[in-house]
Amino acid sequence: MTGAASVIIMIGVAFLAAAMALTLVRMTRGPSTLDRVIAADVVVAVVIAALAMEAALNHHTTTIPIMVVLSLLGFAGSLSMAKFAADRDRTGKWRDAAASASASDSSAQGGAGRRESESDGSRQGASEHPEASR
């Protein structure tokens, strides 16, 4: 490998180290569980990229099966956490910021806006919150 290619790979390794450090900060600070899950997925991707750079630097392919297994594990982990988040959202225990803000606005008004919309028969917000109509 030429000197220029080696320097480029070392610069890539430095960028990967910075990405890993920032991702670990996000994983420890959160603020939510989904932020931590995404950070864990990024850690797996950075490890895969580091293994690929090491293989390119040392001219071998022995780490390819390890990279494939890591990518499958990262995909399966992300998929299972997404399903968990969707199931939890369906039960109503996890609310996004917009839903909680609209709920706090209607409770601050004493439910007056809700009673007005029920009395005139209009269904404002039914498209925004399909679970409310069930």
In terms of pLDDT, which residue wins out, 32 or 11? 11
pLDDT one-digit tens code per residue, 60-90? 999 999 999 999 999 999 898 888 877 776 6
Query: What's the DSSP call for residue 95?
Result: -
In terms of pLDDT, which residue wins out, 86 or 97? 86
What domains are there in the chain, each with its CATH number? 1-91 (1.10.287)
Q: Which of 131, 111, 130, 108 is nearest to 119 (CA)?
A: 111
Alpha-carbon dihedral angle through residues 34, 38, 43, 49, given to the nearest 10 degrees: 170
Question: Mean pLDDT across the chain, nearest whole number?
Answer: 78
Backbone angles phi, psi at 60, to 5 degrees: -140, 165
pLDDT one-digit tens code per residue, 8-18? 888 999 999 99
- The whole model's pTM is what? 0.62
- Reduced to 3 states, what is the DSSP secondary structure of residue 90? helix
What pLDDT score was predicted for residue 11?
93
Sign of CA dihedral 111, 113, 116, 117: negative
Evaluate if residue 115 carries a pLDDT over 50. Answer: no
